[in-house]
Amino acid sequence: MPELSRFFGIIIRMYMELNAPHHLPHFHAYYQNAVAIYSIEPVELIAGALPRRQQRLVEAWAELHQDDLRADWERLQAGQRPLPIEPLS
Protein backbone atom coordinates (compact mmCIF):
# COMPACT_ATOMS: atom_id res chain seq x y z
CA MET A 1 0.00 0.00 0.00
CA PRO A 2 1.63 3.27 -1.08
CA GLU A 3 2.57 5.75 1.62
CA LEU A 4 1.29 9.27 0.91
CA SER A 5 2.55 11.16 3.95
CA ARG A 6 4.14 10.80 7.37
CA PHE A 7 3.96 13.25 10.29
CA PHE A 8 4.15 13.11 14.09
CA GLY A 9 4.44 9.33 14.04
CA ILE A 10 1.34 8.97 11.81
CA ILE A 11 1.58 7.21 8.45
CA ILE A 12 -1.01 7.88 5.75
CA ARG A 13 -1.55 5.21 3.09
CA MET A 14 -4.00 4.46 0.31
CA TYR A 15 -4.83 1.17 -1.44
CA MET A 16 -4.78 0.49 -5.15
CA GLU A 17 -7.43 -1.97 -6.36
CA LEU A 18 -7.45 -2.26 -10.12
CA ASN A 19 -10.63 -3.77 -11.55
CA ALA A 20 -12.19 -3.83 -8.08
CA PRO A 21 -12.50 -0.20 -6.95
CA HIS A 22 -13.60 0.70 -3.48
CA HIS A 23 -17.08 2.16 -3.22
CA LEU A 24 -15.97 5.20 -1.23
CA PRO A 25 -12.71 7.15 -1.73
CA HIS A 26 -10.77 6.83 1.51
CA PHE A 27 -7.33 6.58 3.10
CA HIS A 28 -5.80 4.69 6.00
CA ALA A 29 -4.01 6.30 8.98
CA TYR A 30 -1.61 4.30 11.16
CA TYR A 31 -0.25 5.33 14.53
CA GLN A 32 1.67 2.78 16.60
CA ASN A 33 -0.75 -0.19 16.81
CA ALA A 34 -3.85 1.84 15.93
CA VAL A 35 -5.44 1.98 12.47
CA ALA A 36 -8.24 4.21 11.25
CA ILE A 37 -9.92 4.62 7.87
CA TYR A 38 -11.22 8.03 6.78
CA SER A 39 -13.42 9.01 3.88
CA ILE A 40 -12.00 11.81 1.74
CA GLU A 41 -15.18 13.78 1.17
CA PRO A 42 -16.30 14.57 3.72
CA VAL A 43 -13.27 13.90 5.88
CA GLU A 44 -14.83 11.50 8.34
CA LEU A 45 -13.79 8.47 10.37
CA ILE A 46 -15.46 5.41 8.85
CA ALA A 47 -13.67 2.55 10.65
CA GLY A 48 -11.08 1.89 13.32
CA ALA A 49 -9.76 4.40 15.84
CA LEU A 50 -6.75 6.53 16.70
CA PRO A 51 -5.90 8.25 19.96
CA ARG A 52 -7.79 11.55 20.17
CA ARG A 53 -4.76 13.80 19.50
CA GLN A 54 -3.72 11.82 16.43
CA GLN A 55 -7.30 11.71 15.19
CA ARG A 56 -7.46 15.51 15.28
CA LEU A 57 -4.10 15.80 13.48
CA VAL A 58 -5.20 13.42 10.72
CA GLU A 59 -8.51 15.22 10.25
CA ALA A 60 -6.80 18.64 10.09
CA TRP A 61 -4.21 17.33 7.61
CA ALA A 62 -6.90 15.72 5.42
CA GLU A 63 -8.99 18.92 5.35
CA LEU A 64 -5.92 20.85 4.16
CA HIS A 65 -5.08 18.24 1.50
CA GLN A 66 -8.51 17.09 0.35
CA ASP A 67 -7.78 17.94 -3.31
CA ASP A 68 -4.45 16.07 -3.16
CA LEU A 69 -6.15 13.04 -1.60
CA ARG A 70 -8.85 12.98 -4.31
CA ALA A 71 -6.18 13.26 -7.02
CA ASP A 72 -4.11 10.44 -5.50
CA TRP A 73 -7.25 8.28 -5.20
CA GLU A 74 -7.88 8.77 -8.94
CA ARG A 75 -4.24 8.02 -9.79
CA LEU A 76 -4.24 4.79 -7.80
CA GLN A 77 -7.53 3.57 -9.23
CA ALA A 78 -6.13 4.23 -12.72
CA GLY A 79 -3.06 2.12 -11.93
CA GLN A 80 -0.70 5.07 -11.50
CA ARG A 81 1.62 5.89 -8.64
CA PRO A 82 0.30 8.48 -6.17
CA LEU A 83 2.18 11.69 -5.48
CA PRO A 84 3.50 12.39 -1.99
CA ILE A 85 1.45 14.84 0.07
CA GLU A 86 3.06 17.42 2.35
CA PRO A 87 3.00 16.46 6.03
CA LEU A 88 1.83 18.65 8.88
CA SER A 89 4.72 20.55 10.36
Q: Is the pLDDT of residue 3 over 90?
A: yes
pLDDT, position 48: 98
pTM: predicted TM-score of the whole model, two decimal places: 0.92
Task: Quote the number of domains for the chain.
Answer: 1
pLDDT, position 77: 86
pLDDT, position 22: 62
Q: Do the domain assignments include residue 44?
A: yes
Q: Do the domain assignments include residue 83?
A: no
Q: Do the domain assignments include residue 84?
A: no
Tens digits of residue pLDDT in 11-67: 999 987 666 666 789 999 999 999 999 999 999 999 999 999 999 999 999 999 999
Q: Do the domain assignments include residue 47?
A: yes
Q: Do the domain assignments include residue 82?
A: no
Domain containing residue 68: 3-77
Higher pLDDT, 18 or 69: 69
Element holding 7 (H helix, E strand) = strand 3-7
Nearest to 35 by CA among 59, 51, 21, 23: 51
Q: Do the domain assignments include residue 64?
A: yes
Q: Do the domain assignments include residue 87?
A: no
Q: Do the domain assignments include residue 12?
A: yes
